Amino acid sequence: MNRSDAKHKRMQVMLENSATYSDVEFQVGPDGESFFGLKAIYARASEVFSKMFFEAGFREQHETSPRVVVKVEDIMPKSFRQLHRWVYDMDVTLTWDTVFGILDAARKYMVEDLELQCRRWVALEAREAAGAVGLFSAAAAGQWFQWSQALRSRVESFGAAALAACPEATRQLPTDTFMTLLTSEDLCVEKEEEVFEAVQAWAAAANERGEDPAAVWQKMAESDVIHFPLLDVRFFAENVVLQNRLTQEQSLVVFVSKAMGSYPARQASLLARLQLILRDCSAEDATSIIDTILELRQENTYPQTLAHCLVQKALADYEHCSEWVSMWTELWGALRAEGLRDECVRATVDYCQNLFEEDPSPENLIGVWICPYDTLGLVRVLCKLNDSRKLAVLPLIKVLEALVRKAEESAPQGGCTCDPVSAATELAAHLDKIRSRNGHLTALQNLRSLQQRLEAMSGHRKEEMLSPDHREASASPRS
């Protein structure tokens, strides 16, 4: 047994016998479920616990009983249980339903390494449709509105098809949240059947939410969430009329509207239409959608919205960033005849640079400074833009400076969710190649200094990974 295994075993024994080896009792949740622990172990985990138990002036310092009692009424036991395990150096299990409670607990008590694990898990989980929908649904159902808002745009980009394909993820969505999502002009909808199937899957779980399925369907029918006249005739007959989803009068109105051809198309923003074009396209087939993208060129805010969609698609498919940027070059060439080439190039380059220059909000859960794949993907996009002479060297140096600074600032807290060291290493290698060809460039004067700082950070990270305290959060999306 090596030293790491031995320490883990000792801590596991302490956790399993925490009621015996304890001088503090946390009474958690509305029913006061008890969690026993050692003040010294908790104090090691965060400054909040350290001050609570070992600094004068705190209420817990005046307890005279052998075991200090701490009441924690604003955290649920299932969330505190994972924090309790983390404090004792045990791995934790994160699920869609528990991660936000654990995240809130970690933030409240400033257990920064656990907060880091939660954020990293959410960022990676939200890259897939089921994960994004499941997390959004759990956040909305748990009334963590700041977290649901942070994930909403990602869910809208995956679209109604993702909602229909993930019934286990959508079942707990509150009615108002679900309706607002389905009526958003930014929701990607290829065909109305996707919306119907999303509602059908969600309504099937009405009993789990304490709702009446028939009442749920009636509310959906009356609120025009589903645009029934846009459904295929046979689909409408089989899935709506024969299933008595609408009254006879309502069904007749739909048939008349279809016969007259008087029903307008579903309203969709430029953002939703561009994302829909890009959503299911692979890098290999990227050039095949250029003509479809060009059809929308007369829309307002076309250059800026196109830039957002192109970059986000490349980040989602970060392993093929080079192919996507090559497609951009061909698209920009086609826009030259419309007089939009330079504006679209500038909008895309500016969008990329702004992603690195803007500090993320503490409430952000996705994005370049949050998800390591997004960070690495954007670095690859910038390098490819530099290769194609759309971006100078100086902005790349500034990005490298930002990445190295981020790595240094986050090191005391156990690192950063976006893994700036890996992204900076790849960017530094690209700049090193440029220096070997053009060593006289003034913009490259600070490169060696940045590389040395990066090497120091890389060495520190290797030591962390070898440390016996290195733990992980196991992935278990569904509760």
- The string of DSSP letters for 334-389 reads HHGGGT-HHHHHHHHHHHHHHHHHSPPPTT--SSTTT-HHHHHHHHHHHHHHHHTT
Per-residue pLDDT for 463 more than 80?
no
The model's confidence at residue 442, banded by pLDDT at 50, 70 and 90, is confident
Is 80 exceeded by the pLDDT of residue 283? yes
Q: What is the distance between the terminal CA atoms of the chain, rounded to a whole angstrom?
A: 34
pLDDT for position 439: 74
Phi-psi region of 204 (alpha: psi -120 to 50; beta: other; left: phi over 0): alpha
Most confident of 16-20, 195-199, 407-411: 195-199
- Predicted confidence at residue 118, as pLDDT, reads 95
The phi and psi torsions of 28 (rounded to 5 degrees) equal -110, 140
Q: Which of 157, 152, 225 is nearest to 192 (CA)?
A: 225
Q: Return the structure tokens found at 311.
A: 């970059």
In this prediction the pTM is: 0.88
Class of domain 276-475: mainly alpha
Highest mean pLDDT among 246-255, 296-305, 416-425: 296-305
Cα 196 from chain centre? 26
Average pLDDT over all residues of the chain: 89
Average pLDDT of the segment spanning 416-441: 90
**Beta carbons within 8 Å of 244's beta carbon, 6+ residues apart:** none
Half-sphere exposure of 284 (CA within 13 A, CB side): 0
Can 3-124 and 276-475 be said to share one CATH topology?
no
Q: What share of the chain is helix, strand, coil (3-state, %, to 5)?
A: 65, 5, 30
Q: Are 55 and 43 in contact (CB under 8 A)?
A: no
Return the amino acid letter for 86. W
464 pLDDT more than 70: no
Span 372-395, mean pLDDT? 94
The pLDDT score that the predictor gives to residue 64 is 56
pLDDT confidence band for 472 (50 / 70 / 90) = low
In the predicted structure, residue 222 carries a pLDDT above the cut 90: no
Rounded CA separation 22/66 (Å): 9
Identify the band that residue 460 occupies on the pLDDT scale cut at 50, 70 and 90: low
Considering only CA atoms, which of 171, 242, 161 is closest in space to residue 197? Answer: 161
pLDDT band per the 50, 70, 90 thresholds, residue 1: very low
In this structure, which amino acid lies at residue 395?
P
Assign 467 a pLDDT band (cuts: 50, 70, 90). Answer: very low
At 194, list the tokens: 């996707």
Residue 28 has pLDDT above 60, yes or no: yes
User: Residue 26: helix, strand or coil by DSSP?
Assistant: strand
Q: Judge whether residue 61 has pLDDT over 70.
A: no
CATH node for 3-124:
3.30.710.10
Q: Do residues 167 and 203 touch, judged by C-beta distance below 8 A?
A: no
Q: In residues, how long is the chain?
A: 479
- pLDDT (0 to 100) of residue 479: 46
Q: Residue 322, class by beta-carbon neighbours within 10 Å (0-12 exposed, 13-18 middle, 19+ buried)?
A: middle
Rounded Cα gap, residues 352 and 310, in angstroms: 10
Percent of the chain with pLDDT over 70: 92
- pLDDT at position 297 is 96
pLDDT (0 to 100) of residue 214: 85
**Structural domain spans, the chain:** 3-124, 126-227, 276-475
Tokens read off for 137:
């649904």
Residue with tokens 């006289």: 440
What mean pLDDT comes out for the span 263-267? Answer: 90
